[in-house]
Amino acid sequence: MSDLALKPLSAFRGHLAFTGMSEASGAGVTLEVRDDLAMAIVIARKGRLAALAENVCQTYGIDLPAGPKRVAAGSLAFIGTGPGQFLAVEQGGDALTFASRLAGALGDAASISDQSASRAVLRVSGPRVRGVLAKGLAIDLHPSVFRPGDAALSSIALIGAHLWQLDERPTYEISVFRSLAGSFAEFIWSSAAEYGVTIDNP
């Protein structure tokens, strides 16, 4: 019934309005909702990691990272999430077909689980962003330790979180389970408000 065509709802819908927002606006931290990312878990089949790496390299020009790193080419990135496991992230593509496109390209070297809808991703940047994340994340983000291209699976304020650093500004993208978007937004807000927050929706 095409007259019912459904539209996706942003996981952050209704969760980015806070009391005291106007007085706390500022450039300390900038938030941007990333609803334009298609995602899938890619896991090498038994004994097929080398074949998978070969396929990914030939198809996408990406060298699969051996550790928790993000390697990108164009709009596509692979992020290491565990031994032989990756999160593939595509910016701006069709989320509904991403997993099947990947499966077609990677053949039987990997199993693929569609995750496009499962995560809520916030891009956080600005001069005070490390201070904000330190309030919930027990990982050292000092520039000498955690650099652009680095990624980590951990938890932020008891919320399971996957983050990766994009640039030295610094800019991070943080992915949490979709159902936790509200709690996560609350944490970011309450931790960042003292530094000034700008919400920059795409």
Partner 1 sequence: MRIPCPYCGERDIHEFAYLGDATVSRPDPARNDAVQAFYEYVYLRDNPAGSFQELWYHAAGCHSWLVVTRDTRTHAIFGARLASREAS
Partner 2 sequence: MAAQSQPARLQSGGLIDRARPLEFQFDGRKMTGYAGDTLASALVANGVTLTGRSFKYHRPRGVLTAGSEEPNALVELRGGSRREPNTKATTVELFAGLEARSQNRWPSLTFDALSVNSLFAPLLVAGFYYKTFMWPAAFWEKLYEPLIRKAAGLGRASGLPDPDTYEKAFAFCDVLVIGGGPTGLMAALTACRAGARVILCDEDFGFGGRLLSETFEIAGISGASWVGETVAELAESANVTLMRRTTVFGVYDTGTYGALERVGDHLPTHVPHQPRQRLWKIVAKRAVLAAGAIERPIVFGGNDRPGAVMAAAVRSYVNRYAAVPGRRIAVFTNNDDGWKTVADCAAAGIPVEAVIDPRANLPEGLRNLADRAGATLFAGGRVLDAYGVSSGLQAIDVETAGGSIVTLNADCLAMSGGWNPALALTTHLGSRPVWRPDIHAFVASAPPPGLEVAGAANGSLALAACLAEGAAEGAKAAEAAGFSASMPAIPAVGADPTGMMPLWKVERSRTKAFVDFQNDVTAKDIAISESEGYRSVEHLKRYTALGMATDQGKTANVNALAIMAALTGKSIPETGVTTFRPPYTPVAIAAFAGHHRGKHFRPTRLTPSHLWAAEQGAPFVETGQWLRAQWYPRPGETDWLVSVSREVNATRSGVGVCDVSTLGKIDIMGADAGAFLDRVYINTFSTLAIGKVRYGVMLREDGIVMDDGTTARLADHHYYMSTTTVNAAKVMQHLEFCHQVLWPELDVQLASATEQWAQFAIAGPNARDTLRGLIDPEFDISNEALPYMGATTLTICGGLPARLFRISFSGELAYEIAVPAGYGDGLIRAIMSVGAPFGVTPYGTEALGVMRIEKGHAAGNELNGTITAADLGLGRMMSTKKDYIGRVMAERPGLADPERPRLVGFKPVDRAQRLRAGAHFLPLGAKAVAANDEGFMTSVAFSPSLNHWIGLGYLKNGASRLGERVRAHDPVRGLEFEVEICDPIFIDPKGERLRV
Build a one-symbol-per-residue string for 77-96: x at contacts with partner 2 by CB under 8 A, - elsewhere: ------------------xx
Q: How far apart are CA 169 and CA 182, in angstroms?
A: 26
Q: How far apart are CA 83 and CA 170, in angstroms?
A: 27
Helix (H, G, I), strand (E, B) or coil at 109: helix
Residue 49's binding partner out of partner 2, partner 1, none, with CB under 5 to 8 Å set by partner kind? partner 1
> For residues 88 and 78, is the Cβ–Cβ distance under 8 A?
yes
- Closest listed residue to residue 123, CA positions, set 158, 164, 152: 164
Figure out which of the listed residues 47, 92, 144, 202 binds partner 1, where binding follows CB under 8 A: 47
Figure out which of the listed residues 15, 26, 32, 68 binds partner 1, where binding follows CB under 8 A: 68
- Closest listed residue to residue 87, CA positions, set 54, 119, 123: 119
Q: Does 40 bind partner 1 (CB under 8 A)?
A: no
Count residues near partner 2 (CB under 8 A).
61
Six-digit token pair at 184?
């996560």
Query: What is the binding site for partner 1 (CB under 8 A)?
Result: 44-49, 67-68, 80-85, 138-139, 152-155, 160
Query: What is the binding site for partner 2 (CB under 8 A)?
Result: 1-11, 13-14, 20, 23-24, 41, 43-47, 95-96, 110-119, 134-140, 142, 144-145, 157-159, 177-184, 186-187, 190-191, 193-194
